[in-house]
Amino acid sequence: MPAKIIDGKAFAATVRGQVADHVTRLKDDHGITPGLAVVLVGEDPASQVYVRSKGKQTVEVGMKSVEHKLDASTSEADLLKVIDDLNNDPEIHGILVQLPLPKHLDEDLVINSIAPEKDVDGFHISNVGLLGTGQKSMVPCTPLGCLMMLRDHHGSLSGMDAVVIGRSNIVGKPMAQLLLGDSCTVTIAHSRTKDLPDVVRRADIVVAAVGRPEMVPGDWIKPGATVIDVGINRLDAPEKGEGKTRLVGDVDYDSCAAVAGAITPVPGGVGPMTIACLLANTVTACCRANDLPEPEGLTA
């Protein structure tokens, strides 16, 4: 039996609906409008697309959207001044600096200049530490989206064997912490893991976030396992015409879908959940800033 497709696009629409409902209640009951500020430095085409999409979806759920578009030559001091102003703006509850930054800017310094309570990307070192010790934090959007989909599909994750392929600070490490928080037994694997196929084969849950196109074949997957594919890679697609490309994940979809119990597609899986969780994090940050109950089901 082919795997159930976990429709991230549909699930993200549900999450955005929950966010919009909570935003309406914040406005009606408390006169508060959550605000999200996105800072874009330079003119990276992919980053521009992401920022436009984030701004559009922020407005659609009823939140305040602010964009700061800065030249690629912007100095570190000027960028930090923009962030400091946003840190001190009571109408802004979430701040996101779009990565990557131009090479002359120190990404760690910039990220850690964001007030931790407004760090809706969950990248600040304080939020990393809080997540790692099981305390209340801002949770990185992509791992949060993966966790939401896993909870929705399985209900309880307690006792399940999970393998995360990839050890990045943005996805792999926080994903492992979230799975541990839901009482999974967790292994972080990577390109240097010995007997990687055997490690992956024992997993009830496989989260592939290694950044290598179609790296994981179906014969690595335990029959019935759930596969969450975080990868977004472009490959040449001459069959579509000269210069055309196609999007693929970090798993070989067809062979994995033939074995797995459930799987996320690429595109249409994890990707849409990332922005939905950014919106959810902004509402969570707003509620925390105003000592109001957090929306249920929109955070870890």
pTM: 0.95
Three-state SS at 131: helix
Q: How many angstroms separate the Cα of 208 from the Cα of each of 37, 117, 135, 248, 253?
A: 30, 29, 25, 12, 12
Residues 6+ apart with CB under 8 A from 7: 265, 268, 269
DSSP symbol at 93: -
CB 226 within 8 A of CB 206: yes
User: Which tens digits make up the pLDDT trace of 153-168?
Assistant: 999 999 999 999 999 9
User: Which tens digits make up the pLDDT trace of 217-262?
Assistant: 999 999 999 999 999 998 888 888 787 888 999 999 999 999 999 9
Query: Taking the alpha carbons of 76, 78, 82, 85 in that order, is the dihedral positive or negative?
Result: positive
List 18, 57, 98, 177, catalytic entry = 98
Other beta carbons within 10 Å of 154: 16
- The per-residue pLDDT string of the chain (300 residues; one tens digit each, 9 = 90 and over) reads 789 999 999 999 999 999 999 999 999 999 999 999 999 999 888 888 888 999 999 999 999 999 999 999 999 999 999 999 999 999 999 999 999 999 999 999 999 999 999 999 999 999 999 999 999 999 999 999 999 999 999 999 999 999 999 999 999 999 999 999 999 999 999 989 999 999 999 999 999 999 999 999 999 999 999 999 999 998 888 888 787 888 999 999 999 999 999 999 999 999 999 999 999 999 999 999 999 999 999 999
List 18, 57, 119, 121, catalytic entry = 121
User: Which tens digits make up the pLDDT trace of 71-90?
Assistant: 999 999 999 999 999 999 99
Q: Which residue has the tokens 């959550």?
A: 34
pLDDT computed for residue 117 by the predictor:
98
Question: Please, what is the end-to-end C-alpha distance for the chain in angstroms?
Answer: 32
121 as an active site residue: the answer is yes
List 18, 54, 182, 250, catalytic entry = 54
54 as an active site residue: the answer is yes
Q: Please, where are the H alpha helices in the chain? A: 8-30, 45-60, 76-87, 107-111, 125-132, 141-154, 172-181, 196-201, 253-257, 270-289
Three-state SS at 165: strand
pLDDT computed for residue 93 by the predictor:
98
Amino acid identity, residue 221?
A: I
